[in-house]
Amino acid sequence: MGSLRDRARRPRRPGGPGRRGEPGTRARILDAAEELFARDGYEATPTAEIARLADVPKGLVFHYFPRKIDVLVALVDERTLVEESPEGESVPGDAAGALSRLARRLPIRASPAMRRILFREADTHGSVRARLGHLNGEIIRRARFALELALPGARGGAARLEVAAVTFAAVLLHQENLCQLTGHHIDPDAVAELIVHALA
């Protein structure tokens, strides 16, 4: 671990992004927090550890984020962008393909680490929960839209179509979340095909 005080401070390149007001300092703190929260969880990550990994003094973390929770909130606010349905992305007539594409690219712009954080801290912190709920809603909306477009007169009507959309969203989120823990894997394409069969 090294004795105290001999932490080799990464030399800041003068004139580069390593000087005062360095635009990357705050980002480095968030980078570190993202990595650590994802690996160890929010509660189990000391702010001092964040500072160490970000290579900034302990106090600076609190300069940017007055309380520890603010780091988490900033992370969720700034690094998980739930993409609002950009319509017209689906091609009429190919429901299974549209669902597959949705599975392959969830409407969330976030690193794998941020996704872990989103799922893990959801039930302890309101703002994280809200973001996750938003994501879930967006996935459902897109799945529903894809199915409506491809299967206009699906048997069972709107109700069954809604169930199909919700089911697909559940599978996708379950895969992102618990499958990584339980070791079970799901092939979203197969699920997409199954669902389309049910509606066709």
Partner DNA sequence: TATGAATGAGTCTTCATTCAT
Partner DNA sequence: CATGAATGAAGACTCATTCAT
- Give the footprint of DNA on this chain (CB under 7 A): 1, 4, 14, 17-22, 25-26, 44-48, 56-64, 66-69
**Contact map string, positions 14 to 33, toward its own copies, x by CB under 8 A:** ------------x-------
Residue 82 near residue 131, CB atoms below 8 Å: yes
Does 84 interact with its own copies (rule: CB under 8 A)? no
Any alpha helices (H) in the chain, and if so which ranges? 25-40, 47-54, 58-64, 68-79, 95-104, 112-120, 126-150, 157-176, 179-182, 188-199
CA distance 200 to 195: 9
> Which SS3 state, helix, strand or coil, does residue 168 take?
helix
The nearer residue to DNA, 67 or 174, going by C-beta atoms, is 67
Task: Tell me how long the chain is.
Answer: 200
Minimum distance, C-beta of residue 146 to DNA, in the bound complex (Å): 43
- Amino acid present at 102: L
- Interface ranges with its own copies (CB under 8 A): 1, 3-4, 26, 41, 43-44, 63-66, 70, 74, 116, 119-120, 122-124, 129, 132-133, 136-137, 140, 156, 159-160, 163-164, 166-167, 169-171, 173-175, 177-184, 186-187, 190-191, 193-195, 197-198
